[in-house]
Amino acid sequence: MSKYILSKQHPQKRAFITGAASGLGKAFAVELARDGWKIGAADINVEALSIITKELEALGAKVLPFILDVSDREAYRHVASDFLAKAGGIDLLFNNAGVGDGGAFEEYSLDNWEWMTRINQYSVIYGCHFFIPAFKKQGSGHILNTASLAAITCAPTMGAYNMTKAAVVALSETLYGELVDLNISVSCIQPAYFKTNIAQSARGSDMVRKMTQFFLDRSGLEPDVVAEEILHRAGKKELYIVLPKAARKMALLKRLAPMWFRKEVKERFMAAARKATRTK
């Protein structure tokens, strides 16, 4: 199984996961718990965090739960320090927490832009900043940053989300170059839509919220399947983890025919928007 590759590479089995109480973060936590990892589970949802903590413990994990707003720099600093002290180090860092939202560029408020940037972009910066010194001291570890296929497709009305996810890709590429010779791996996760609750926190237009939920409901991908593939490919130390296969095809098409791709994305996105509006 995929998590066993990472367990072999990191026998102390210490992982810190943001957004651990739902969606992909929860799926990562469950997969690792089944192989007895020590898990720092961080989430802003107190009730959901309590539930997942019990579930992970029942699967055999030692769980260190942390209530955390990942956009709060000082709170993140404190939690990172607390986790390192209690776990004795870190092997896997999942910068996974995020929100999905959108709207026409000029209609999406600057307050919303800043909210989106703090959660989707700065939280990744914080996680890397606070944990990389520990990785370097150990001389080992693996950082997994959750971006999105949106960093490739850059669909209309999703400017803030697209920008933050593209920033995660750029940061991951930069860190790969800085850390690869230190035995510290970096993976950038770029999934297409899969079934999660990312649309629940949306602040933008009703149309974008409906359209996002439309794509999520029809994705056919479950978080556990996505997590399984990601952990397998992370074990192979892949930098770019783009999935599923259709998403990898889209990434290739963008490189081969960029202007055709831009037009195709717009046409497909607007067609889906019309369909989502009719069916919701």
Lowest mean pLDDT among 48-57, 194-203, 235-244: 194-203
Helix axes 159-179, 123-138, angle to 10 degrees: 10
Residue ranges of domains in the chain, CATH in brackets: 2-279 (3.40.50.720)
pLDDT of residue 227: 95
- The per-residue pLDDT for 31 is 96
pLDDT digits (tens, 9 = 90+) for 10-39: 999 999 999 999 999 999 999 999 999 999
Task: Determine which of 133-137, 184-188, 214-218 has the lowest per-residue pLDDT on average.
Answer: 214-218
Average pLDDT of the segment spanning 85-105: 95
Question: Can you read off the two tokens belonging to residue 142?
Answer: 């693996």
68 versus 268: the higher-pLDDT residue is 68
Q: What is the residue-averaged pLDDT of the chain?
A: 91
pTM: 0.90
Cis peptide before 244 (omega within 30 of 0): yes
The pLDDT confidence band at residue 111, using thresholds 50, 70 and 90, is very high
Task: State the pLDDT at residue 222.
Answer: 85
pLDDT at residue 214 is higher than 50: yes
Of 81, 54, 55, the C-alpha closest to 68 is 81
Work out the average pLDDT over 121-137.
Answer: 98
Does residue 280 register a pLDDT over 60? no
